[in-house]
A and B are shown apart, each in its own frame.
Chain A
Amino acid sequence: MLTQVVMPQMGESVAEGTVTKWYKRVGDRVERDEPLFEISTDKVDAEIPSPAAGVLTKILVGENQTVEVNTVVAEIETEGSGAAAPGPEPAAAVAPAADTVSPPESPGSPAAARATEPASPPAPPPTPAPSRREVRSSPLVRRLAKEHNIDLALVPGTGLGGRVSKKDVLAYLAHSPGTSAPPPASAPLAAPSIPFSGPTQVVPMTPMRRQIAERMLLSRRTSAHVSTVFEVEMTRVSEVRAQQAAEFERRHALKLTYTPFFVRAAVEALKQFPILNSSVDGTNIVYKRAIHIGIAVALESGLIVPVIKGADEKNFLGIARAIHDLAERARTKRLGVEDVQDGTFTITNPGIFGSLFGTPIINQPQVAIMGVGAIEKRAVVRHDAIAIRPMVYLSLSFDHRVIDGAVADQFLARVKSVLENWEEAVL
């Protein structure tokens, strides 16, 4: 049987890793958990243990090559490959749901019978070896996990530094009674707890998806979310853009988009209302002296929030360039750990997809996030007449623990004022 070795996710925001050294050569025998290769990310260098025992048959990613998380980097031929019975991998048994991605085929069905079918079903995507994300726990927790057949990576840890404690395991067990008994080896695996009788496909979440899921719930639990919405007239910004776009692109080889206008306006407002640039530490409010603006970028596989560092010290061009650079690297997965850290305020842009406005979830440990809706021409009343103006809804979700509605609205009013009376030179 072939086991695929993948690039592990080393840290929540790391999308890629570089293989720096192979400890084994093709043809070498390797034991389970024996160091197989070494990787390097911006934060850490780590030895990666082998997920299985066997013979290293293929190295797909050479030394000093950088690949995305979950890319297959090698293949190991494991013991017992002579036995043809397609059983679940031993490692996969801890995550019962993973087995259900296999196509519905009975072990006994002869290959010939399938060959007569006009179109064979597409091969399922290879099941990546479960990520070996290190979970900090305790001897007791590991014993409980074994007894109850739980993947500890799925248990949210509330202990010191995210450590999974007894309390966390008991809470997890209380909420997922289905996991308490290991499934019988040969029985078909039913959908965990959703009583749906029709056909389903169960796909395990990617590490990034899991991370987003945990982060979103954590934020909802942490902050007292409130959202407020302002409508902003974009006539002035549209004019500036129309007049200067060509020259801007000629001088700087950059497209003049709307985003730097919103970032600049937010920075101005943040300077005036620093509470929106803070975070909560116990009963203290921590005001950050720098303004680092995170820009949410949608990826095919999820979402990433690269950060414009020192946005308060950049002029319009500097911000435009930083946005372009970060967005480009986000889409090509070349962001480093430091590119996604230390944000103090986030701007998200649901308007790209046509949304009028969103009520975004705060990016912890920040206390506010601004959403930019679609810019479109609307009929508005000006001087008691109906006028056609480019308009946008700006929404702000804020943490009511430290920000009251009045302050949040004054903040958005300031953003609105900067945009509607745009004065800054963009070239």
Chain B
Amino acid sequence: MAVLTHLEAIRQGIWEEMERDPSVFLLGEDIGAYGGAFKVTEGMLEKFGGDRVIDTPISESAIVGAATGAALMGMRPVVEMQFMDFIACGFDQIVNMAAKIHYRWGAAVPLVIRGPSGAGVHGGPFHSQSNEMWFVHTPGLKVVVPATPYDAKGLIKAAIRDDNPVIFYEHKFLYRRIKDEVPDGDYVVPIGKARVARAGTDISVITYGAMVWTALEAASQLEPEGISIEVVDLRSLLPYDEEAVLASVRRCNKVILLHEDTRIGGFAGELAATISEKAFQDLDGPILRVTAPDTPVPFSPPLEKYFLPNAQKVAEAARRLAAY
């Protein structure tokens, strides 16, 4: 066991998959000699050579198109988006090509598109978005959002081995801030299985990605007040672990849905609908959402701080719900 950062865990996962399977190769902007904007692919060019670690022109559409073609030919491309915001340039190739090929022809598209998302590092509106819902709303894709180094490694390996296109969100705020023990060697975290990050009895906070840490912080704040918070880390959004969500609702009977993404059309809305359809009689209070407001991510640090959900906002919602 080694203590790895979130970023190192992802690198180790990709590295091991490249060693394990020669059909795995990397495509992206500045991922070779430079090692990637955030250094996820550092050292890979030297280790695996230019045929498997390919620097591309600045054209996300071309990158995804090329990778989709390679996947159809039996390769397992892993595409890096320098920032997940730039994925919009490759949108057509993802949603109209990669996502629909299996449905139309039965062919596998074992493609991974990964990259840094999320705010909190003063990146401004073009380098901070949480745009996972564009892809959650696209049948034919899988969408994965790990919160811990252990999960990041296990899930990137699962994504690379998956025969479907997988969009893999790495929260840039977690890259070097979160460290954890990660087992050496091979293990896989299955896509579509949530985990209970903290067990509790009064209120279930259902979340994913960096907000898992926010929820845990709020839970610690609330513990001395006698409010017991359960934190459910979804780990993947498409498919998501409906069973785990409903089980947690049935344990706690009160729910807060938390995400960094903006409010309207966010994943919380989907969860709220499902909970009220399938666990209405288990609810002891309204389903609350804690999310970013419906604006672009502000560049100004004070505004960005205001924009982002934090432990205090979660704790306030929890106190309100506990008293309900």
**Assembled-state Cα–Cα distance A141/B280 (Å):** 11
- CB B114 to nearest CB in A, in angstroms, measures 41
Interface residues of A in 305-340 (CB under 8 A from B): none
Tell me if A159 counts as interface (CB < 8 A to partner B).
yes
Interchain CB contact under 8 A, A160 and B282: no
- Residues of A with C-beta under 8 A to B324: 159-160, 163, 165
Is B284 an interface residue, CB under 8 A from the partner? Answer: yes
Q: Does A92 contact B (CB under 8 A)?
A: no
User: For B323, what are the chain A residues with a Cβ–Cβ distance below 8 Å?
Assistant: 159-160
- Chain B residues near A163: list those with CB within 8 A: 324
A140 adjacent to chain B (CB < 8 Å): yes
A90 to B278, CA, bound (A): 29
Chain A residues positioned under 8 Å from B283 (CB to CB) = 138-140
Rounded to whole angstroms, the CA-CA distance of A213 and B242 in the bound complex is 45
CB closest chain-A residue, reference B254: A166
B253 touches A143 (CB 8 A): no
Assess the A166–B253 pair: CB atoms within 8 A.
yes
Count contacts between A and B, CB distance < 8 Å. 27
Residues of chain B within 8 A of A139, CB atoms compared: 280-284
- Contact flags B280-297 to A (C-beta < 8 A → 1, else 0): 111111000000000000
Scoring B residues 299 to 324 as 1 if CB is less than 8 Å from chain A, else 0, what string do you get? 00000000000000000000000011
Using Cβ atoms and an 8 Å threshold, which residues of chain B touch A140? 253, 281-284
* Distance between B247 CB and nearest chain A CB, rounded to angstroms: 15
* Alpha-carbon distance between A233 and B73 when the two chains are bound, in angstroms: 108
Shortest distance from the beta carbon of B61 to any chain A beta carbon, whole Å: 48
CA gap between A140 and B280 in the complex, in Å: 8
Least Cβ–Cβ distance between B255 and chain A, in angstroms: 11
Measured in the bound complex, the distance between the Cα atoms of B323 and A163 in whole Å is 10
For the complex, give the distance between the alpha carbons of A166 and B282 in Å: 10
Residues 132-187 (chain A) with a chain B CB within 8 angstroms: 138-143, 159-160, 163, 165-166
Q: How far is the CA of A142 from the CA of B323 in the complex (A)?
A: 18
Q: Is the interface of B mostly helix, strand, loop or mixed?
A: loop
Q: Which residues of B contact A141 (CB under 8 A)?
A: 284
Please tell me the size bucket of the interface on A.
10 to 19
Complex Cα distance, B283 from A138, in Å, reads: 7
A159→B280 CA distance, assembly (Å): 19
Q: Which one of A140, A143, A159 has the greatest number of beta carbons of chain B within 10 Å?
A: A140
Chain A residues with Cβ under 8 A from B284's Cβ? 138-141, 165-166
- Report the separation of the CA atoms of residues A138 and B280 in the bound assembly, to the nearest whole angstrom: 9
- The A-contacting residues of B in range 168-221, CB under 8 angstroms, are none
Q: How far is the CA of A166 from the CA of B253 in the complex (A)?
A: 8
Q: Closest chain A residue to B282 by CB distance?
A: A140
A148 to chain B, nearest CB (A): 14
Instruction: A142 to B284: give the CA distance in the assembly, Å.
Output: 9
- Return A340 CB to nearest CB of chain B, in Å: 28
Report the Cα distance A38→B324, complex, angstroms: 31
Residues of B with C-beta under 8 A to A142? 281
B272 → chain A, closest Cβ, in Å? 14
Contacts of B253 in A (CB 8 A): 140, 166
Chain B residues, CB < 8 A from A166: 253, 284
- A139–B255 Cα gap in the complex (Å)? 14
Closest to B286 in A: A138
Q: How far is the CA of A163 from the CA of B285 in the complex (A)?
A: 10
Query: Least Cβ distance of A165 to chain B in Å?
Result: 6
Interface centre among A139, A142, A159 (most CB of B within 10 A): A139
- Report the nearest B residue to A166, measured CB to CB: B284
B281 and A165 within 8 A (CB): no
CA distance A143 to B284 in the complex (A): 10
Q: Mark B254-290, 1 if CB is under 8 A from A, else 0.
A: 0000000000000000000000000011111100000
Residue of A nearest to B320 (CB): A160
Contacts of A160 in B (CB 8 A): 323-324
Residues on B with C-beta less than 8 A from A143 are 281-282
Residue of A nearest to B323 (CB): A160
How many Å from the CB of B98 to the closest CB on chain A? 41
- The 8 A CB mask of B59-86 against A (1 = contact, 0 = none) is 0000000000000000000000000000
CA–CA, A7 to B253, complex, Å? 36
A227 to B62 Cα, complex, angstroms: 86
Report the Cα distance A165→B323, complex, angstroms.
9
Cα A141 to Cα B254 in complex, Å, equals 12
**CA A166 to CA B283, docked complex, whole Å:** 9
A107-143 interface (Cβ within 8 A of B): 138-143
CB distance from B249 to the nearest CB of A (A): 10
Interface string of B91-112 (1 = CB under 8 A from A): 0000000000000000000000
Residue of A nearest to B285 (CB): A138
Q: How far is the CB of B281 from chain A (nearest CB, A)?
A: 4
Q: How far is it, in angstroms, between the C-alpha of A159 and the C-alpha of B285 when the chains are bound?
A: 10
In the bound assembly, the distance between CA atoms of A195 and B323 in angstroms comes to 37
State the CA gap A128–B317 with chains docked (Å): 43
Say how far A230's CB is from chain B's closest CB, in angstroms.
41
Q: A23-41 CB contact bits vs B (8 Å, 1 = yes)?
A: 0000000000000000000
CA distance A138 to B324 in the complex (A): 10
Q: How far is the CA of A138 from the CA of B321 in the complex (A)?
A: 12
Complex Cα gap A327–B253 (Å): 48
User: Least Cβ distance of B170 to chain A in Å?
Assistant: 38
Taken together as a complex, chains A and B put the C-alpha atoms of A78 and B324 apart, in Å, by: 39
Q: How far is the CA of A141 from the CA of B282 in the complex (A)?
A: 8
Q: Other than the known A139-B284, A166-B253, what 4 A-B pairs have Cβ atoms closer than 8 Å?
A: A141-B284, A143-B281, A160-B324, A165-B284
The 10 closest A-B pairs by CB, nearest first: A166-B284, A140-B284, A143-B281, A138-B284, A139-B281, A160-B324, A139-B283, A139-B280, A140-B253, A166-B253
Query: 15 A-B contacts, Cβ less than 8 Å apart?
Result: A139-B281, A140-B253, A140-B282, A140-B283, A140-B284, A142-B281, A143-B281, A143-B282, A159-B323, A159-B324, A163-B324, A165-B284, A165-B285, A165-B324, A166-B253
